[in-house]
Amino acid sequence: MENIKRKALLVISFGTSHMDTRQKTIEACEKRLRDRFPDCDFYRSWTSKMIIKKLKTRDNEEVLYPSQALDLLLEKGYKEVYIQSLHLICGEEYNKMMNIIDNYRHKFDKILVGRPLLTSLEDYDYVTDLIKEVSLEDTKLDLKRSASVWMGHGTEHQAHASYAAIDYRLSRNSIKAYLATVEGYPEIEDMIFFLKKDGIEKIHLRPFLLVAGDHAKNDMAGQDEESWLSILRAEGFEVEVHMEGMGEFEAIQDKFVENLADAIEEDKRIGVACRDQDVEAGRFYGIGTGPGDSQLLTIKAAKTLDKLDILYLPQAKIGGESRVRKIVDPYLRPDLVLKERHFPMSYDSQEKRESWDAISKEIIDDVRHGKQVGFVSLGDPMLYSTYVYLLDRLIDRIEIETIPGLSSFSNIAASNNFSLAMDTDPMLVYPCTGSMEEIERMVDLFDSIVLMKVYKRCRPIIEMLEAKGLADKSIMVSNSAMEEELVYRDISQAKDLDSYSYFTTIIINKKTYKANILDLWTKNN
């Protein structure tokens, strides 16, 4: 319990196995951050599992992966975590880190993350000025025919434009410096063209990398013919190598410190603004809309919709129509802010997690700004609903109220006078996403069964129920309570349809209400 009120500083970088450059770059940046935030306990984490493993094997040194580090901070009882990334761009490694962090946001009172080196326009200007300063020092003895050349890593991620942006700024400002990448654009061939075009003869070769590790020692300054040093010399340039990682420059160390300080100040600013404006505490509402008919919305759901500032509407397809919007439209104020957000229906779990994480972050931000925020879900929000994935990411971080809704199978039963269960009879609600063997086993075990998500297995399920003599004890409904609702009291009629709606449910009751009443009457007479 001694750590309950303490804050943690977690510095996350890609990592390196080269101790010489590590001390001068990663550890130098870490020290600068530790000195600036002395009220925080310091922790280190790297995003490269390969380097983490190598260090463990070679040196028996253990560096934590971000998820391991955050688990450790939870275990130690920290409530607030300040995280600074030492990544240069918002690329693949940075986004991998953020995806991990987002899964932990609801587990801490506060997680603040400082942006990487290149994010805002001001960041690009800052780095451009540093390159200019270094390049002027490099070329001061031979300004006319010399220039500095910077080797970046490059990426296939969309953040590859960061390198081109720096290179453009250098040329636009007539700075005698050029930037290209090992794995992306601009390439060394592009740069050589402009070096020759500009009459450059001598090159000061530098890494545009946090550390002067493998890439700097091999890809940039290696002795094999494919290294930049060899290629540039083969092209007739005189080359002087400078093995300084970007992390060695005090200006870069200061920038990382500034980025985390900015995140902390922004958090304070939001808090003060909310207090000064006497902003009502925000709250998040998960609202069940029922199966499809606007009239089946509960009174509480309708009243909740009326007091919202922002309403999130799920979309199955990007740019597609939100089915649930039609249901709630009669209850929405004209000034209500609507945010339609895509929730992937694919089997790509990574894509789904990224979508849920991003939307959860947006909701948290809205609520913390004092907004009353809602999310609508078909049926009941706690039953086979995307809402549950949001709830898992939001709970304990913001105030939440969940408004129940009428489930589709309850509406099907009521609308068609089809009893679900009586007395002590158990009832099974089963999603038909497993094997037919498992579905059949469930049908054999229970007398009252609700089969949901049947659309891909409708035909074999109907055939199975026919074989068991249960066709007349079953009902099948597609798009319950919607305009396109289809009801099959004789489910055999639905066996040969060309397609089945995603919103298709089959209910089976081997013991009908009518049969129970007749049995009771016979027994008493």
DSSP-assigned letters across all residues of 510-522: SS-HHHHHHHHHH
Give bridge partners of residue 42 from the DSSP assignment.
9
Torsion of CA 459, 463, 464, 469, to 10 degrees: 140
**Phi, then psi, of 477 in degrees rounded to 5:** -135, 130
On whether the CB atoms of residues 216 and 207 are closer than 8 A, the answer is yes
On whether the CB atoms of residues 511 and 422 are closer than 8 A, the answer is yes
- Residue located via tokens 């920290």: 78
On whether the CB atoms of residues 288 and 406 are closer than 8 A, the answer is yes
Reported as a pLDDT band with limits 50, 70 and 90, residue 512 is low
The proportion of the chain whose per-residue pLDDT surpasses 70, expressed as a percent, equals 92
For residue 88 the two structure tokens come to 């240069």
Asked if residue 294 has pLDDT above 70, the reply is: yes
Integer angstrom CA distances of residue 287 from 55, 65, 299, 365: 50, 37, 11, 19
Spatial CB neighbours of 136, under 8 Å, sequence gap ≥ 6: 176
- The rounded distance, in Å, linking the Cα atoms of 227 and 214 is 12
On whether the CB atoms of residues 392 and 418 are closer than 8 A, the answer is no
- Cα 73 to its chain centre, rounded Å, is 21
Mean pLDDT, range 42-63, rounded to an integer: 96
On whether the CB atoms of residues 508 and 449 are closer than 8 A, the answer is yes
Mean pLDDT, range 407-421, rounded to an integer: 93
Average pLDDT, the chain: 89
What does the pLDDT look like over 172-225, one tens digit per residue?
888 999 999 998 889 999 999 999 999 999 999 999 999 999 999 999 999 999
Spatial CB neighbours of 514, under 8 Å, sequence gap ≥ 6: none
pLDDT at position 440 is: 95
Asked if residue 401 has pLDDT above 90, the reply is: yes
The domains spanning 7-116+254-273 and 121-248 adopt the same CATH topology? yes
Q: Which fold would CATH assign to domain 410-516?
A: 3.30.950
Peptide bond into 186 cis (omega under 30): yes
Between 183 and 29, the more confident residue is 29
pLDDT at position 329 is: 93
**Phi, then psi, of 485 in degrees rounded to 5:** -60, 135
What does the pLDDT look like over 452-497, one tens digit per residue?
999 889 999 999 999 999 999 999 999 999 888 999 998 998 988 8
- The rounded distance, in Å, linking the Cα atoms of 448 and 425 is 8
Asked if residue 24 has pLDDT above 80, the reply is: yes
User: Strand 504-509 and strand 474-478: pairing?
Assistant: antiparallel
pLDDT at position 517 is: 44
On whether the CB atoms of residues 343 and 315 are closer than 8 A, the answer is yes
Query: DSSP alpha helices (H): ranges in 277-330?
Result: 299-306, 323-328
What interhelical angle do 92-102 and 66-76 show, nearest 10? 30
For residue 475 the two structure tokens come to 């009902």
Q: Which fold would CATH assign to domain 121-248?
A: Rossmann fold (3.40.50)
What does the pLDDT look like over 152-183, one tens digit per residue?
999 887 778 899 999 999 988 889 999 999 98
On whether the CB atoms of residues 357 and 393 are closer than 8 A, the answer is yes
CB atoms within 10 A of CB 15: 25
Give bridge partners of residue 114 from the DSSP assignment.
84
168-173: long-range contacts, CB 8 A cutoff, minimum separation 24: 169/124, 169/125, 169/128, 170/128, 170/131, 170/132, 173/128, 173/132
Domain boundaries, the chain: 7-116+254-273, 121-248, 283-406, 410-516
Length of the chain, in residues: 525
Q: What is the CATH number of domain 283-406?
A: 3.40.1010.10
Q: Which of 300-304, 336-340, 371-375 has the lowest mean pLDDT?
A: 336-340
Integer angstrom CA distances of residue 136 from 97, 150, 523: 35, 14, 104
Radius of gyration of the chain (CA): 31
Output b/e per residue, 469-483; b: 16+ Cβ within 10 A: ebbebbbbbbbbbbe
Catalytic machinery residues:
153
Asked if residue 271 has pLDDT above 70, the reply is: no
What CATH architecture is 7-116+254-273?
Answer: 3-Layer(aba) Sandwich (3.40)
Nearest C-alpha neighbor of 80 from the set 1, 30, 3, 6 = 6
pLDDT at position 475 is: 95
pLDDT at position 335 is: 87
